[in-house]
Amino acid sequence: MATPRKKIKIRDKEATIARLIEMVGVILRENGYRWLNPSEIQKKLGKNRRQVYTYFLNMNNLLSAYLREKDYWLPYFERFQLREDAGAEELRNMFVNMMQENLSFFKDDNEMQSIILWQLSESRAILKELNFQREEAGAKRLVLTDEFFEGTDVDFRSLMALILGGSYFISLHSRMNIGTVAGRDIRNPADLALMQKTIEQLIKWAFHTALEHNKNKIKSSTIMDFELANLHRIAAKLSDKEHPAGRDSLSRELNEEVQRLQWVMLKHISQLSNETQLKTYVQISFSTLIKICDLLYEPGSDNTGARLLLDLMETIRSAVPDYIPGGLVLPKLFRKEQGEVFLQEWSDLAEQLRAASVKPELIEIATFPYTRFTEAKGLMHWVDFKYLKLYTKVIRDLTLRQSFGTSDLAEVLVGLGFNHTRFLSWYSKYIQDGLAVLAYKDVKRILSRHKAQLRQLVIYTDLLFHHYKLSPTQQLSNWIDAERTFQMENAPNAPFNPSAIQTDLADLQILWWQQFQQKHGIYNEPDQSTLIRKTVFNFRNLERKEIDELSLTLDPRESNFIQPFEAILQNMLEEVRNMI
């Protein structure tokens, strides 16, 4: 007679699931995220580690369940709800309360601190998903502020990021008992009260500054509408092709009005007392002057009137060079003339690049910023002009070197934030071509070196060719990560050792243990790389997998994964002494 299969009671199942989730938190708090594995959970529970697979199928599902239950941000956001038409004061108070409460809560919650440390230390899909969910929920609150801060000098989202990041750092700093930060200790109630007050002051400052900016904008707009009204009237008459009479008189009137405006605008600028007023004044006045300049622009003519407007704007720009908004549309005449200058400069530079045997395809790709500036039908902005001016200067400096080649130009383009799709495709193929002749074990090493080199390149500017895309460094680093994963998963001749030693240690623990023995004379390998290579070949980690060589980077500040060896070494020493 068959033995009836034992049924798991629902209450027992729920209790076991709860205990498994609880153990994840215990391990995080006591040992750190490196110890999150079925074996360690088994030790904590004193039960079969197969329970993880019985109830969650795999470790990732258990970790996801833990994060859903313990992460406080999602339910936390639900407590701070506002209607879509909420006023500035309601918005301000909500963010003050939310960020103050976050600091108070996070400083006392060791488990949440461990989750944040885990997110900062390891790249896992479940952690990225958790962060995405937080960002999505937070965005619903932040979007309510966008209209209020739009066009002002205040980036409220950046302020929130700094307050949140600062709250995390100060709390984690306190947890490690490192000491004070700028003389403040969050464990001291008086210091905590000062920090809470500062959070309120910062958020109130942001709303007040934006409000003042909007008031100044209305005032500046009214002034400039009055001052530029006559200029606009004259330009409209000059641009009227159906009534050409009196053009000479109108041209003289235009010249006189431009001279008057130059004096008036420089006087206005000298009377403005802060950056916000200056930026607002320049943005409003230049936007109108550019429209009038384009009204006077006639392709194929001498453009005397449009030239007067360009000269006026250049005089004002020279007085306040740091206050020209990057988003200003370039006047048509300015774009045409500067485009011709850029094309001539590039023609000379391209000739020098060809003489240095730089690959023709890369030279063609490097031409794109110039063709966009001169030929594209879309609008070009002040930031595009600044970018192309720097782009030209840096490539000119490259051609002045004693020797340079294709790789030098590629590195310069990365440093210039040239994130055009064709260039990124060329660069990735350039790397792949170099990998084609290498053995598998060398491919991973060379890819890692390429990624390290990308991070070490000179960055010439924060500007990007496409401002709405990631930088070339970020995009190429992401591609290298994906390529490394692909190489690891599809290596046809990857070495395999069927006699590899099985351990219950994590990758970094295995490496540390081997290095420790090498240091104390147990091993006598010629160098570090040889030791690592042999360690990878001869050991299997706690998940019964081959060790990932790319993960073997020891951080001397991270001691959690070393601590378990203390008890092991003490037992070994005691046993040896008993044998002597």
Confidence of residue 496 (pLDDT cuts 50, 70, 90): low
Choose among 364, 282, 287, 262: nearest CA to 322. 282
Element housing 10 (H / E): helix 10-30
| CB neighbours of residue 339 within 10 Å | 19
- pLDDT at residue 7 tops 60: no
Tell me the average pLDDT across 140-161.
83
Assessment of whether the complete model's pTM goes beyond 0.75: no
Within 444-576, strands assigned E span 501-502, 539-540
3-state helix/strand/coil string of 365-379:
HHCHHHHHHHHCCCC
Confidence of residue 542 (pLDDT cuts 50, 70, 90): low
Give me the percent of the chain exceeding a pLDDT of 90: 25
Give me the percent of the chain exceeding a pLDDT of 70: 84
- pLDDT at residue 86 tops 60: yes
Q: What is the dihedral of CA 51, 54, 59, 64, to 10 degrees?
A: -110
Tell me the average pLDDT across 247-260.
88
Q: What is the largest CA-CA distance in the chain?
A: 117
Alpha carbons 152 and 214: distance in angstroms, whole number: 7
Judged by average pLDDT, the poorest of 225-229, 323-327, 429-433 is 225-229
Q: Give whichever of 39-53, 64-78, 354-368 has the largest mean pLDDT.
A: 354-368
Confidence of residue 85 (pLDDT cuts 50, 70, 90): low
3-state helix/strand/coil string of 177-222:
CCCCECCECCCCHHHHHHHHHHHHHHHHHHHHHHHHHHHHHHHHHH
Tell me which DSSP letter residue 50 carries.
H
Residue ranges per domain, the chain?
A: 13-70, 72-209, 240-325, 336-490, 501-579
Judged by average pLDDT, the poorest of 103-117, 257-271, 539-553 is 539-553
Tell me the average pLDDT across 526-545.
75
Within 8 A by CB and 6+ apart from 230, the residues are 257
More confident residue, 12 or 104: 104
Provide the residue type at 397 as one letter: D
Tell me the average pLDDT across 215-235.
69
